[in-house]
């Protein structure tokens, strides 16, 4: 058997790369060791967590907003089994869809662990231990990432009491006290799910802010909103121990600036302290593929490794560990292999936290612009001044537009607010075309929409917003 391209890993990077390659006429194969396609994202990440986030957001609405909207109901009751069935069904629909797409695009699929033997040669080892060799002109490594754990701390994940993001999707009862180690995206999304279902949630974070790397003002306001929802935060706190106890688990942390260690008891602990590139068993050393200092597959600006004919994309290479970044890279590699000019614009990759309200951002933060010495102007508009937001009782948050002072080019847009994850894309499209804040402010936005706040924030960078 010989292929133009063999992709190892069927996550959003790998399966999208395979589809694009097949669409462009390349003879394509995809290797995956799971029973289902879609990788972490579809099976135990983005998709199932969104099913839980949506369901519990509806619960929040029913509990807190219906009465004010004049809808009287008795206290909503959660059927955790049914809620979990919604998560399972959602995942199933997506994985089935992927089987259909592989067939439709005539992609040959192999189940098993892929190994790179050399440029042009891979093997697949199935569950029965039998290996078969496949010849291919090109190899794309898309093996993703795995939970990083806490460096220097022995964490015995049992996925029942001490859990990673995977276990936190399927607690069979609502933990009384859930301690979340790491105030990043996973911690806050899954922490929100269980807080809404009734857990007391304490987030222990090493940095002095949650969502490190996000715009500082956004992170601060967002933390206030989550605190109002009942989440507790211990910031500047380094977790040094996570242990199982008779009743649950305990988490020990030390103040980063020095001082006495503290231990808190929990019914369950979610450790969400980042992910690491996954290259186990891939045999990259045999093929001579270089890794960087953080264990990521080293690639150049065209996603080529140091070995001709071997490419790598997604979480296993440098850059944000986001499904959509991996997808873009998958498309770019397929296009390059088909002789086209594949390209990823790393300056315009949106990031979304799917909490309530959502947080979304694209481009540079104020902190990054200050650090780079860029002269910029900022325009802000709060949702409290937006008519649609008032009608929906969704007035929390704001939009911030950052633009170059000299050229007016939009450099970053940051939103905390209901539907932020959808709204961010008008900013992304504008930035992809090198648009200015005046372009954004002069684009007619339908009234009444939450998106009008984006227009008003853009207007605020060079003039006065109308509704403030
Ligand atoms: P993260 O990197 O977003 O956050 C991890 C947090 O843990 C950091 O704030 C870090 O300072 C903290 N931390 C590390 N060691 C610690 C210690 N010893 N004590 C206390 N705090 C400590 O990683 P996370 O949330 O695990 O997510 C992993 C990856 O998955 C990220 O790259 C994220 O972008 C991606 N992801 C994206 C989602 C989205 O786009 N909505 C959803 C879920 C995950």
Q: In this predicted model, what pLDDT tens digit does every residue of 11-51 receive, in sequence order?
A: 999 999 999 999 999 999 999 999 999 999 999 999 999 99
pLDDT for the residue numbered 1: 76
CA atoms of 154 and 240, how far apart (whole Å): 9
Q: Does domain 351-462 have CATH number 3.40.50.620?
A: no
For 162-273, which CATH superfamily applies? FAD/NAD(P)-binding domain (3.50.50.60)
Q: Where in the chain is the domain with CATH 3.50.50.60?
A: 2-147+276-337, 162-273
Question: What's the 212 CA to ligand 1 centre distance in angstroms?
Answer: 9
Assign 137 to helix, strand or coil.
strand
> What residue ranges of the chain have pLDDT lower than 50?
none
Pairing of strands 232-234, 200-204: parallel
Give the pLDDT confidence score for residue 204 in this predicted structure: 98
Residues 155/158/161/164 CA torsion (nearest 10 deg): 70
Do the Cβ atoms of 282 and 143 come closer than 8 Å?
yes
Degrees (nearest 5) of the Cα angle 415, 418, 422? Answer: 70
Strand pairing report for 376-382 and 177-181: unpaired
List ligand 1's pocket residues with C-beta within 6 A. Answer: 150, 181-187, 189, 204-207, 212, 238-239, 272-275, 321-322, 351-354
H or E segment and range at residue 80: helix 80-104
The Cβ of residue 283 has, within 10 Å, a number of other Cβ atoms equal to 16
Q: Which CATH class is domain 2-147+276-337?
A: alpha beta
Q: From atom 32 of ligand 1, which residue's Cα is the shortest distance away?
A: 321
Active-site option among 64, 302, 343, 447 = 447
Q: Which two tokens stand for residue 392?
A: 């929906």
Task: Say if residue 50 carries a ligand binding annotation.
Answer: yes
Asked if 305 and 324 touch (Cβ cutoff 8 Å), the reply is no
Atom of ligand 1 nearest to the CA of 240: 18
Q: Give which of 182, 185, 179, 229 is closest to 201, Cα–Cα.
A: 179
Cα–Cα distance list, 319 to 166, 256, 264, 341 (Å): 23, 27, 34, 20
Is 401 labelled as part of a ligand binding site?
no
Rounded-to-integer distance, Cα 112 and Cα 93, Å: 22
Q: Catalytic residue at 447? A: yes
Give tens-digit pLDDT for 164-219: 999 999 999 999 999 999 999 999 999 999 999 999 999 999 999 999 999 999 99
Helix (H) or strand (E) holding 328: helix 323-337
Rounded Cα gap, residues 442 and 226, in angstroms: 34
Cα–Cα distance for residue pair 343/245, rounded to 1 Å = 51
Count CA within 13 A, CB hemisphere, residue 46. Answer: 16
What are the two backbone dihedrals, phi and then psi, of residue 201, each rounded to the nearest 5 degrees?
-120, 125
Q: Does the annotation place 303 within a ligand binding site?
A: no
Separation of alpha carbons 345 and 425, rounded Å: 14
**34 CB contacts (<8 Å, ≥6 apart)?**
10, 43
Question: Distances in Å between the alpha carbon of 98 and those of 13, 28, 43, 72, 92?
Answer: 13, 15, 12, 42, 10
Give CA 340 to chain center in angstroms. Answer: 29
CATH 3.30.390.30 region(s) of the chain? Answer: 351-462
CA of 325 to the centre of ligand 1 (A): 17
Strands of the sheet containing 249-255, edge to edge, are: 237-244, 249-255, 262-266
Q: What is the pLDDT of residues 118-131, one digit of tens each?
A: 999 999 999 999 99
- Interior CA angle at 226 toward 223 and 230, to 5°? 130
Place of tokens 């704001």: 398
Q: How many Cα atoms occupy the beta-carbon half-sphere of 137 within 13 Å?
A: 10
Task: Give me ligand 1 centre to Cα 292, in Å.
Answer: 21
Query: Does the global pTM surpass 0.85?
Result: yes
């Amino acid at each position: 058997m010989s292929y133009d391209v063999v992709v190892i890993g069927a996550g959003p990077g790998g399966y999208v790369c395979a589809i694009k390659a097949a669409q462009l006429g390349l003879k394509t194969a995809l290797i995956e060791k799971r029973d289902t396609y879609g990788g972490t994202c579809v099976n135990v990440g983005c998709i199932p967590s969104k099913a839980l986030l949506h369901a519990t957001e509806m619960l929040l609405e029913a509990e807190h907003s219906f009465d004010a909207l004049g809808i009287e109901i008795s206290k909503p009751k959660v059927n955790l089994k049914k809620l979990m069935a919604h998560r399972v069904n959602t995942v199933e629909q997506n994985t089935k869809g992927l089987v259909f797409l592989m067939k439709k695009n005539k992609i040959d699929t192999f189940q098993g662990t892929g190994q790179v033997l050399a440029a042009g040669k891979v093997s697949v080892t199935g569950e029965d231990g039998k290996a078969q060799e496949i010849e291919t002109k090109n190899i794309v490594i898309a093996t993703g990432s795995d939970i990083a754990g806490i460096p220097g701390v022995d964490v015995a994940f049992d996925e029942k009491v001490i859990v990673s993001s995977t276990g936190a999707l399927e607690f069979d009862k609502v933990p009384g006290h859930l301690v979340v180690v790491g105030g990043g995206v996973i911690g806050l999304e899954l922490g929100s799910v269980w807080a809404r279902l009734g857990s007391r949630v304490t987030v222990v974070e090493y940095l002095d802010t949650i969502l490190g790397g996000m715009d500082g003002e956004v992170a601060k306001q967002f933390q206030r909103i989550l605190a109002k929802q009942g989440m507790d935060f211990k910031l500047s706190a380094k977790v040094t121990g996570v242990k199982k106890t008779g009743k649950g688990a305990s988490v020990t942390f030390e103040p980063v600036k020095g001082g006495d260690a503290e231990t808190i008891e929990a019914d369950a602990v979610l450790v969400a302290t980042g992910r690491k590139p996954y290259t186990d068993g891939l045999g990259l050393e045999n093929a001579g593929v270089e890794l960087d200092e953080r264990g990521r597959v080293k690639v150049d600006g065209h996603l080529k490794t140091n070995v001709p004919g071997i490419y790598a994309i997604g979480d296993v290479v440098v850059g944000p560990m986001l499904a959509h970044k991996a997808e873009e890279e998958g498309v770019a590699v397929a296009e390059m292999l088909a002789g086209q000019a594949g390209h990823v614009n790393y300056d315009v990759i949106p990031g979304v936290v799917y909490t309530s309200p959502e947080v979304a951002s694209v481009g540079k933060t104020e902190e990054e612009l200050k650090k780079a010495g860029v002269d910029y102007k900022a325009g802000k508009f709060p949702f409290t001044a937006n008519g649609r937001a008032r009608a929906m009782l969704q007035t929390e948050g704001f939009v911030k537009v950052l633009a170059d002072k000299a050229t007016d080019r939009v450099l970053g847009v940051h939103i905390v607010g209901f539907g932020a994850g959808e709204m961010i894309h008008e900013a992304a499209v504008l930035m992809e075309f090198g648009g200015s804040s005046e372009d954004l402010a002069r684009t007619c936005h339908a009234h009444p929409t939450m998106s009008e706040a984006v227009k008003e924030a853009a207007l605020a960078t060079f003039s006065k917003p109308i509704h403030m």
